Amino acid sequence: MVILCRSQEEAEAALEKLREWMAQVGLILHPDKTRMVNMSVADSHFDFLGYRFKRSRRGRLIRLVRPKSLRKLRESIKPKTRRNNGKSMESIVADINRTLKGWFGYFKHVHPSELGEIDQWLRMRLRSILQKRRGGRGRVRGQDHYRWRTATLPDWGSFAC
């Protein structure tokens, strides 16, 4: 639940009223998740339903992916994109797309830079699989980005690329 107030006093009164209401129904507010934030200050933020709402230095309210949500996405994609995966690239990408389609559908309102970072990370994982299959070692660097250009990756039907 997010409660918006105009002043610190209003916020404290609303929090106390919420605590009373929650006590009447036999619930308590989680101390780690309950906090007051002054969103008029630059770089202040709060997390809600997987999003991070942040006030930029220019005063705009921007939506970002909560770091925990981003970690969970990476943890779900990593096993599917292991370098020693014996599946074809088409089947790997099809498997990834099931995860990405729902994830991007939920987080489609975040700042565009957030989605670009995820896309870049995913392309690096796919290029690393190709590098391993041609006998290379380590992460993809330098000339490998020219060998497997971004334009060739969507040929496998990747949702993110």
Please tell me the predicted confidence (pLDDT) of residue 161.
43
Please state which of the ranges 16-20, 70-74, 97-101, 125-129 shows the lowest mean pLDDT.
125-129
- Rounded to a whole number of angstroms, the distance between the first and last alpha carbons of the chain is 35
Rounded to the nearest 10°, the torsion over CA 42, 43, 44, 46 is 140
Provide the mean pLDDT of the chain: 84
Distance CA 8, CA 84 (A): 55
Distance CA 62, CA 51 (A): 10
The pTM of this model reads 0.76
Structure tokens at 87: 């599946």
DSSP string of the chain, one letter each residue: -----SSHHHHHHHHHHHHHHHHHTT----TTT-----TTSTT-EEEETTEEEEE-TTS-EEEEE-HHHHHHHHHHHGGGG-TT--S-HHHHHHHHHHHHHHHHHHSTTS-HHHHHHHHHHHHHHHHHHHHHHTT--SS--TTHHHHT-TTTGGGGT-S--
Tell whether the model's pLDDT for residue 35 goes beyond 70: yes
Share of the chain above pLDDT 70, in %: 84
Tell whether the model's pLDDT for residue 65 goes beyond 90: yes
Bridge partners (DSSP) of residue 51 are 48, 65
Distance CA 59, CA 109 (A): 18
Please tell me the predicted confidence (pLDDT) of residue 119.
84
Domain coordinates in residue numbering, the chain: 8-65, 67-156
Q: What is the mean pLDDT of residues 65-83?
A: 93
Tell whether the model's pLDDT for residue 23 goes beyond 90: yes
Tell whether the model's pLDDT for residue 154 goes beyond 80: no
* Angle between helix 112-133 and 89-106 (nearest 10): 170
